[in-house]
């Protein structure tokens, strides 16, 4: 039976990457190697992580760095998704058994989302993984769909800014969506690498909790944020049409990207709620309401 021991990770110091590194190390199941473009940043990695400097533009550099690695986990930022093309090719050539590309977020198998321009780079990378897995059966892939990110930092602000008591309520505020902590994303990675057969060549869908914007505001009010809220309202169908218009006109700003993302994870029937999840398979326990409220309290107090 194939087992994973040596794991390389890209984006190891980022918001997603660092919790994954910490989780892999804490499990004591894996040897972890961070690939980095900047060799001067080696001190930024935790003890126990080997560091290899690579050139992401060089297939040869990446293939050499991935020799002996059983798995490759990418936590590249949204802006760098296209860089993964060389990573996928190098991983397959180097004998990597499992790649987890950076597709964290909404369910991009939902055909509605597949039409959004902001998701085309992620879809292209997954399709390249699919092609190489067909050509080389020893290579396989898994993507992680976690819908919204959940944490006391800016990720909660994107949904409801409980610290500053500000929110733009989408579609009435009662649309259920999945939200996932960085720690549970890390657990998903561990679950994938220890359940290779069950997770081969498919996405896994996870969440720490299912919630709504109105529930998060209610929790903040229970915790003392009763007054001074700046509440606006918007319709995600309108956001979609506006985003498509502005994108076609050449406006690729963060504001337009946010319109697409809000439609994706809050629009009912889109990519932000998973009725069937892989939590049990991957060892994700999730959060109860008190634990969710604790995250809201941390965001209020930070």
Encode pLDDT of 92-116 as tens digits. Answer: 999 999 999 999 999 999 898 888 9
CB environment 178-193: b (16+ within 10 A), e (fewer)? bbbbbbbbbbbbbbbb
pLDDT at residue 40 is higher than 60: no
pLDDT for the residue 302? 85
What is the end-to-end Cα distance of the chain in Å, rounded? 47
Encode pLDDT of 54-89 as tens digits. Answer: 999 999 999 999 999 999 999 998 888 888 999 999
- State both tokens at 21: 């590194």
Beta bridge partners of 177: 211
Q: Domains of the chain: which residue ranges? A: 6-147+181-205, 149-178+209-275+283-301
pTM: 0.94
pLDDT at residue 52 is higher than 90: yes
* 3 state SS of 141: strand
Position of tokens 């915790």? Answer: 223
Q: What is the rounded CA–CA span in Å between residue 74 and residue 77?
A: 9
pLDDT for the residue 158? 85
Encode pLDDT of 118-166 as tens digits. Answer: 999 999 999 999 999 999 999 999 999 999 999 877 677 789 999 999 9
CB environment 7-38: b (16+ within 10 A), e (fewer)? bbbbbbebbbbbbbbbbbbeeeebbbbbbbee
pLDDT at residue 236 is higher than 70: yes
Q: How confident is the model over 247-254, as a mean pLDDT?
A: 96
pLDDT for the residue 46? 86
The fold for domain 149-178+209-275+283-301 equals UDP-galactose 4-epimerase; domain 1 (3.90.25)
Q: What is the rounded CA–CA span in Å between residue 240 and residue 235?
A: 9
pLDDT for the residue 80? 84
Which residue in 99, 102, 103, 104 sits closest to 88, CA to CA? 99
pLDDT for the residue 178? 94
Q: What is the mean pLDDT of the chain?
A: 93
Q: CATH assignment of 6-147+181-205, given 1.10.287.70, 3.40.50.1100, 3.30.70.270, 3.40.50.720?
A: 3.40.50.720
pLDDT for the residue 229? 97
Which residue in 275, 247, 267 sits closest to 119, CA to CA? 247
- Taking each helix axis as running N to C, give the angle between helix 120-135 and helix 84-94, from 0 to 180 degrees, rounded to the nearest 10: 10
Phi and psi dihedrals of 19, rounded to 5?
-60, -35
pLDDT for the residue 42? 58
pLDDT at residue 293 is higher than 70: yes
Which residue in 76, 113, 73 sits closest to 97, CA to CA? 73
């Amino acid at each position: 039976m194939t087992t994973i021991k040596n794991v390389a990770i890209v984006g190891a110091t980022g918001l997603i990457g660092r919790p994954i590194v910490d989780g892999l190390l804490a499990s004591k199941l894996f040897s972890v190697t961070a690939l980095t473009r900047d060799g001067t940043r080696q001190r930024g990695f935790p003890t126990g992580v080997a560091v290899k400097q690579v050139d992401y533009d060089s297939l040869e550099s990446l293939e050499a760095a991935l020799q002996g690695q059983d798995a490759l986990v990418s936590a590249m930022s949204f802006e760098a998704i296209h860089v993964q093309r060389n990573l996928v090719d190098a991983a397959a050539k180097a004998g990597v058994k499992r790649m987890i590309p950076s597709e964290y977020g909404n369910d991009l198998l939902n055909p509605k989302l597949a039409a959004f321009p902001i998701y085309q780079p992620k879809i292209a990378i997954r399709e390249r993984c699919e092609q190489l897995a067909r050509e080389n059966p020893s290579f396989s892939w898994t993507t992680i769909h976690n819908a919204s990110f959940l944490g006391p930092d800016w990720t909660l602000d994107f949904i409801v800014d409980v610290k500053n008591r500000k929110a733009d309520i989408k579609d009435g505020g009662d649309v259920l969506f999945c939200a996932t902590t960085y720690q549970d994303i890390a657990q998903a990675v561990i679950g994938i690498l220890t359940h290779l057969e069950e997770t081969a060549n498919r996405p896994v869908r996870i969440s720490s909790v299912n919630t709504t914007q109105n529930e998060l505001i209610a929790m903040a009010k229970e915790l003392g944020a009763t007054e001074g809220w700046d509440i606006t309202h918007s319709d995600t169908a309108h956001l979609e049409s506006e985003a498509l218009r502005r994108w076609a006109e050449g406006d690729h700003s963060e504001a337009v990207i946010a319109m697409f993302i809000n439609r994706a994870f809050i629009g009912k029937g889109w990519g932000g709620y998973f009725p069937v999840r892989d939590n049990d398979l991957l060892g994700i326990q999730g959060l109860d309401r008190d634990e969710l409220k604790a995250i809201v309290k941390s965001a209020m107090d930070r």
